[in-house]
Structure formats: C-alpha cells, structure tokens
Amino acid sequence: MKAVIGLGNPEVKYLKTRHNVGFMLLDKLLEKNNVVLSEKFQSFFGKKDDILYLLPKTYMNLSGRAVVELMNFYKLNIKDIIVICDDTTLELGTLRFRKDGSHGGHNGLKSIINLTGSSDFDRLKIGVGPIPNNIPIENFVLGNFTKDEEEKLNKTLEVAKDAVEEYLRTDIQTVQNKFNKKHF
C-alpha cells in the first residue's frame, strides 16, 4: 500500500495559491482515477485499490498530524508515502523527485518530519519560484499565480500527474531520471 499526500491549505481563499500545488496535483490524480473523497484523518481522504490519497485539512504547518493518523491507521512505513509540495527554490515548470532529505525550510515537510520522527520518505517538489526581490516568502507562497504562470502551472501539473502515476508503478529512481528537470 502507498500513500500519496498533497500538501496545501483547505480554505477557498488558498485554493489557487502557490502553497497549494500539492492539493492541485492531487485533485488531478483523484479525477483521473475516479477517487471519491471522504473526511477522515483530519483530511480529505480517498482510497483506490492499494493507493491512499490524502489532502490534510490541518493547514500546511500542521500537516504531520494528518500524516501520522493515516500511517497509524494503515500501519504504513515512512517509506510507503510520497509527499507532494511546492518549492520556492525551483523555477516554475520544474519537477524534482527526492528520496529523502531535510525540510529545506518548508513548514509542511518540517511538520511531517517532526511528528513521524523521520525524513526518510519520498517527495515530489513542484517549482513555484523564483521569489521576486523584496517579497516576504509568506506573501509569495500565499499569493495566487498570474495568468501567465497559471498556463505554465497547468502544463506542469499534467506532466506531474503522469510522473506520479509512473512512480506508483515503478520506483523513485526511474521517475527521477525521467522527470527531474524544467519542463516548461
């Protein structure tokens, strides 16, 4: 069993913000696989065959709470999850799969690492950067994409959807070799 976890913030006002690209990608995966969501594990949760889908409603900074509940209920190992999140250090249009690593200043990843006690999980980082000069990171990640950025983002999310599907069929090294680059 594998869990695909998209990070974001649950309120409508955050729906199209840079911080919500994890939710956006999960929405595409859910639609493609006809997964119906319910509310469980402090999240919107869906299951199809042996794949679990989780969109934590705990807000970004407390994402680890929902992840721990899911892992405990299904007796998942930390290596059974992939977390999808934004990355301000990567240019918009860029995807980067990572096998493990630090939180890199991302509060959602930091929460998961702190509450699970491990950073040994796979992740897909979706580039939303670069941050323009003189804009605080909080304002940038909680800001909406411009029209031009939305077009590039939508194309990137389509590639990312295929990449996650391939990841679930193969392994992280295969998708790293194929998808870790700037696509648009």
| Residue positions annotated with a catalytic role | 19
Beta bridge partners of 40: 43
The answer to whether the peptide bond before residue 130 is cis (omega within 30 degrees of 0) is: yes
DSSP of 53-106: EEEESS-GGGHHHHHHHHHHHHT--GGGEEEEEEEEEEETTEEEEESS---TT-
Place of tokens 């918009």: 92
CA torsion, points 39, 35, 97, 74, in degrees to nearest 10?
Answer: 50
Beta bridge partners of 17: 144
Within 10 A of 30 (CB to CB), how many other CB atoms are there? 19
